[in-house]
Structure 1
Amino acid sequence: MSEIREGLRIGILGLQGSYKAHEEMFKSLINSYTLSVSIIKSTSQLVEIDGLIIPGGESTSISLLCERSNLYEPLRNFVNEGNPVWGTCAGLVFLSKYVSQVKNGGQKFLESMDIKTERNYFGSQKDSFEVLIKTPCLKGKKPFRCLFIRAPVITAVDQDKVEALAELEKSGKSLIVAARQENKLLSTRSSLTIHVGTSTF
């Protein structure tokens, strides 16, 4: 974990979803690494952070609340300026350029990553499951145990721009569950921890 920069300031989008759980996880690292964590709910806070996490939750609600809070364009600019961003679950959907199974009336996405995503790919909550996921990008690391609850998957990527970091074999299909494009990292579940550029989320 030596790639974590000293004094790294991590922001977690706190409009809806599991931002508190993400905050607790990062705060547990403070004793080991010099970093700070804050919940982001306004545009002015974006200038105070080095990297952003968009957590799991409900992607339609996150999108709507971003627009109501006038955060949509500032967030998009933050991502496109090259700042490290990690989208987990609903955050993955929100960062995707193409999304299937969009709710009636549509929703607005940041469209910052050249992937196609399918929401709630595995079905309802009763279809949840745990599985060990191999991550070849983390050499020498044991497989991660991941829990999939109404999770999305990445169904297609622009192979010239996007690197698939982890895949899940399910019902005879190979499904991408983590990917990276430049400064952007996506995982279908937040239990998967991956290196992003010079920072580790």
Structure 2
Amino acid sequence: MAVGVLALQGSFNEHIAALRRIGVKGVEIRKAEQLENVSSLIIPGGESTTMAKLAELHNLFPALREFVKMGKPVWGTCAGLIFLANKATGQKTGGQELVGGLDCTVHRNFFGSQIQSFEAELPVPDLAATEGGPPSFRAVFIRAPAILEVGPDVEVLASISIQTTKKVDPSSSLQSQEESGECDGKVIVAVKQGNLLATAFHPELTIDSRWHSYFMKMSSNDNEIVAASSSSVYEDEERYLYNKQPKIDLPVYE
């Protein structure tokens, strides 16, 4: 069965293109009944409040919650991470509805506004062990959330270091905390819990498809088609990236 990509708003086309690169069909999901035809689901990055309003308008939240409860694999990136979290802070007045299921607390826009977007080299030992390739992943953060707390069943896959001295204040953004010197030395940006995967960054905006291949392994069993060998895919894409594509630099977060 195909992989569904929630297509209300945000980078759903980029996810579908990334799936295509590893030989997997992605289909756009806009209605609750369409979830019956997919084996797994990606909730993409975008504007989380807008996505939530559109999901509520189309009465998608009950179907999304049921999809998660059924144990089908679901991956949330950036805004999708906020959707999957059991608790979110730093939201606009009135908050937003959440799908839930992921035992964590997420801070919306933790890293600041659009102009604070950046790239960072993340150590990803579990991803590299499973998918091959280098031990780090160059992650793109755009108005990104961060995970402040996780439950005992949540596996941390990646964290980012922040040069600071004091503890995170869940009610303020990283930008305001940096100005006052008040934030933690490390925050979590990728986790896995059972059938749920979540990343605060945007793997779909890079040529490195290892996160998509990793998610496909969550969606597969011995009788299903598994994505192409990620190590060879990564090598081919790496050559394409450096030989064919112009490099677009965002600020690098050190």
Secondary structure in 1 matching 2:81: helix
Which residue of 187, 191, 200 maps to 1:175? 187
Which residue of 137, 144, 147 maps to 1:144? 137
Give the structure-1-normalised TM-score: 0.88
1:60 and 1:74 mapped to 2: Cα distance? 18
Matched to 2:144, the amino acid is A
1:92 and 1:72 mapped to 2: Cα distance? 15
Of the two, which has the highest radius of gyration?
Answer: 2
Name the counterpart of 2:180: none
Which residue of 107, 112, 116 maps to 2:105? 116
Q: Which has the higher strand share?
A: 1
2:95 and 2:139 mapped to 1: Cα distance? 30
Q: Percent identity?
A: 40
Matched to 2:219, the amino acid is S
Cα RMSD between the aligned structures? 1.7
Mapping for residues 52-67 of structure 1, pairs under 5 Å: 52-67=41-56
Unaligned runs of 5+ in 2: 165-184, 204-209, 221-226, 228-254
Give the structure-2-normalised TM-score: 0.70
Secondary structure in 2 matching 1:132: strand
Name the counterpart of 2:172: none
CA contact (8 A) 2:29 2:35 kept: yes
Unaligned runs of 5+ in 1: 1-7
Secondary structure in 1 matching 2:80: helix
Name the counterpart of 2:182: none
**Structure 2 residue 95 is the aligned partner of structure 1 residue 77:** no
1:28 Cα deviation from its structure 2 partner? 2.2
Name the counterpart of 2:178: none
1:128 Cα deviation from its structure 2 partner? 1.8
Name the counterpart of 2:242: none
1:17 Cα deviation from its structure 2 partner? 0.9
Equivalences, count? 189
